[in-house]
């Protein structure tokens, strides 16, 4: 249903009345006026992500292959836990299913260099959950959108990689989250940080190379291409996303 917006004649008439009436009319006009980028905005094609699910490994080691067959060549071997004992998360992009609908193989996004690698793993090796949420980064527009299904939850300005250290484009996912404020050496990451499966030529991330999505102590740099590949958000935006973005959430970076 379309909501009526107060007309110019109505506002003029209200201006001739009492200050209280004018204030009420202006408040109503602001409440009813459409807002660009507001929650409830229809998702664009660029903001859509089609994946099967995300989750962890159910076995100590998982062989990633070039095709959905035990005879296919190996691409990589993933361990159930990372070297720091944190669980390994994966994002499943597609599935091969039996006639009764049971998944037999999943095609996953393979974290690490080079970006964009995918491969097949046995379905029994994964523990997946459905995915509804996604983080979309528009590199050229220097903007992020956080979607929950068909609902735009939050949007804002970002800083991206500078020339020579561009933020890579593609479909990635959140592999870990942490609060950099517990270590003063990483104050550059602002109030909170998401680690992703993407890699850049050089980043400010601990260990180097990983593309992070994090806050910043320098909000005046947002809207610019200044980082070593990471995506910087306002501290208020990353704090908002902190508990709303689970591990395994897709991160889509478009040109």
190-249 pLDDT, tens digit each:
999 999 999 987 655 555 578 999 999 999 999 999 998 999 999 999 999 999 999 999
Per-residue confidence (pLDDT) for residue 72, from 0 to 100:
97
What integer is the mean pLDDT of 3-24? Answer: 41
214 counts as catalytic:
yes
CATH of 53-129, one of 3.40.50.150, 2.20.28.270, 2.30.30.40, 3.90.1570.10: 2.30.30.40
Q: Which pTM was predicted?
A: 0.81
From the candidates 65, 142, 214, 252, give the one annotated as an active-site residue: 214
Residue 211 and residue 228 in contact, taking contact as beta carbons nearer than 8 Å: no
**Does position 30 have pLDDT exceeding 90, yes or no?**
no
**Does position 118 have pLDDT exceeding 70, yes or no?**
yes
From the candidates 230, 238, 241, 245, give the one annotated as an active-site residue: 230
232 counts as catalytic:
no
Which carries the bigger pLDDT value, residue 81 or residue 33?
Answer: 81
**What value does the mean pLDDT of the chain take?**
84
Domain with CATH 2.30.30.40 in the chain: 53-129
**Does position 32 have pLDDT exceeding 50, yes or no?**
no
Fold assignment, 133-254: L,D-transpeptidase catalytic domain-like (2.40.440)
Domain with CATH 2.40.440.10 in the chain: 133-254
Picking from 49-53, 94-98, 203-207, 246-250, which range would have the lowest pLDDT averaged per residue? Answer: 203-207
Residue % of the chain over a pLDDT of 90: 66
């Amino acid at each position: 249903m379309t909501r009526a917006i107060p007309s110019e004649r109505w506002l003029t008439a209200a201006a001739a009345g009492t200050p209280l009436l004018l204030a009420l009319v202006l408040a109503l006009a602001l409440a009813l006026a459409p807002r660009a980028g507001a929650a409830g905005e229809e998702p664009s094609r660029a903001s859509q992500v089609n994946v099967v699910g995300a989750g962890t490994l159910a076995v100590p080691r998982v062989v990633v292959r070039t095709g959905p067959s035990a005879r296919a060549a190996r691409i990589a071997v993933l361990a159930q836990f990372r070297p720091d004992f944190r669980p390994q998360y994966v994002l499943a992009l597609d599935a091969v299913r039996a006639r009764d609908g049971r998944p037999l193989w999943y095609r996953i996004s393979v974290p690490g260099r080079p970006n964009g690698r995918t491969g097949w793993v046995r379905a029994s090796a994964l523990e997946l959950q459905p995915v509804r949420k996604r983080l979309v980064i528009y590199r050229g527009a220097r903007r992020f959108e956080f979607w929950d299904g068909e609902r735009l939850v939050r949007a804002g300005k970002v800083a991206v990689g500078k020339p020579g250290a561009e933020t890579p484009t593609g479909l990635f996912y959140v592999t870990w989250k942490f609060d950099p404020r517990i270590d003063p050496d990483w104050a550059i990451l602002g109030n909170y940080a998401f680690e992703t499966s993407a890699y850049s030529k050089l980043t400010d991330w601990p260990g180097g190379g990983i593309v992070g999505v994090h806050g910043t102590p320098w909000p005046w740099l947002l809207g610019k291409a200044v980082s070593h590949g990471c995506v910087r958000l306002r501290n208020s935006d990353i704090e908002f996303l902190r508990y709303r973005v689970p591990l395994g959430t897709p991160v889509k970076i478009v040109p």
